[in-house]
Amino acid sequence: MTADLEAIVTDVAAMMRGAQERGSVASYIPELAKVDASQFGLAVATADGRVVTGGDADTGFSIQSISKVFALTLALGKVGDQLWDRVGREPSGTAFNSIVQLEHEHGIPRNPFINAGAIVVTDINLGGHQPRVAIGEILRFLHYLAGDDDIAINEAVAASETASGFRNMALANYMRAFDNVRHDVDLVLGAYFHQCAIEMSCRQLALAGRYLMLDGRHPGGGRVVSPRRARRINALMLTCGHYDASGDFAFRVGIPGKSGVGGGIMAVVPGRASIAVWSPGLNASGNSHLGTLALEELARRTGWAGFSPP
């Protein structure tokens, strides 16, 4: 299979480059609305240590909600399973920024990958510190995972979301009323918006996701998380990684994945590959249109789709 991987990645990138329908870039964060929708990148880091790339795989983009996977990993390291007293682990069936469920469910978000859940995770990661401490920690974590100290925050994107993130402010304040956000809302959102504004390329993101392909091991040696935790994070990505389109993504692609409104998707094939794909145009559910198509095609052609035997 690995012998063919270069050809498959090259083909998929060429197919996506030529696609007519590309979705539309997120516009509710003004800075993201400026991104050129014609771009497409793909990177596959394999369990045997190769990185195969296609298209704009070295162009940085806003990882947005993909950061929720890394933030969750850090928060589980701090408080362990107590995290699940404050955040559920069920698919939401609602949009990424929905507020309706929160009232019925007394301020406990459905899962850590919708915005409300990620805001609680950020509250845990703050742990009484200033936002810059929590932001520094997540950046250092990504440097360690990807083996790349150049990963940084795009301050213009962070400022743009800070100025326009009214829904997230509402979510955070609402959960504060239930005591499920415990720090000052401005501090929590400051950390959350900066975490979402981290910029990475497909190559960097595929490298950062390797611990989830390797059952929690760091490819350079040592352990990032236990095998059980890595498997659970993958299970959450499969069931909750694409908001109200999570079921459709699992059906079409059959691989755990987490999307972001910057147009990126990180996907993990346990024991085989850590994949990052990026194309800024989104479909109606807020997930990368071509990114999803590319993963569907890649999974089909590699045989990685949906619970295939080794």
Task: Please list the active-site residues.
Answer: 65, 68, 192, 243, 261
**Residue of 168, 204, 246, 292 interacting with ligand GLU (CB under 6 A):** 168
Report the C-alpha gap between 157 and 23 in whole angstroms. Answer: 21
Asked if 123 interacts with ligand GLU (CB under 6 A), we say no
**Which residue type sits at 17?**
R
Q: Nearer to ligand GLU by C-beta: 75 or 214?
A: 75
Q: Does 115 interact with ligand GLU (rule: CB under 6 A)?
A: yes
Q: Does 180 bind ligand GLU (CB under 6 A)?
A: no
For residues 277-306, which are near ligand GLU according to CB under 6 A? 286
CB closer to ligand GLU out of 4 and 90: 90
Write the interaction track for ligand GLU spanning residues 57-96; mark x where CB under 6 A is met and - where it is not: -------xx------------------------------x
Which CB atom, from 46 or from 162, has the smaller least distance to ligand GLU?
162
Within 48-94, residue ranges assigned H as helices are 67-79
Q: Apex CA 200: angle with CA 198 and CA 201, to 5°?
A: 160
Rounded CA gap, 265 and 287, in Å?
Answer: 8
Count residues near ligand GLU (CB under 6 A).
Answer: 11
Decide whether 40 or 96 has the Cβ nearer to ligand GLU.
96
- 261 is a site residue for ligand GLU (CB under 6 A): yes
Site residues (CB under 6 A) for ligand GLU, limited to 186-215? 196
Nearest 10 degrees: CA dihedral of 234, 32, 172, 128? Answer: 80
Side chain identity at 4, as an amino acid letter?
D
What the block records as the tokens of 302 is: 């590699």
Measured N-to-C along each axis, helices 155-164 and 185-196 cross at an angle, to the nearest 10 degrees, of 140
Q: What is the number of other CB atoms lying within 10 angstroms of the CB of residue 155?
A: 12
Q: Is-contact 9 52, C-beta < 8 A?
A: yes
| Least CB distance to ligand GLU at residue 25 (A) | 12
Residues 188, 169: Cα–Cα separation, whole Å: 10
For the bound state, the minimum distance from the C-beta of residue 28 to ligand GLU, rounded and expressed in Å, comes to 7
Q: Does 122 bind ligand GLU (CB under 6 A)?
A: no
Q: How many CA atoms are closer than 13 Å to the CA of 122, on its beta-carbon side?
A: 33
- Residues 127-166, mask of contacts with ligand GLU (x by CB under 6 A): ----------------------------------x-----
Answer whether 65's CB lies under 8 Å from 50's CB: no
Nearest to ligand GLU of 91, 286 (CB atom):
286
Beta bridge partners of 55: 41
- Positions touching ligand GLU (CB under 6 A) are 64-65, 96-97, 115, 161, 168, 196, 260-261, 286
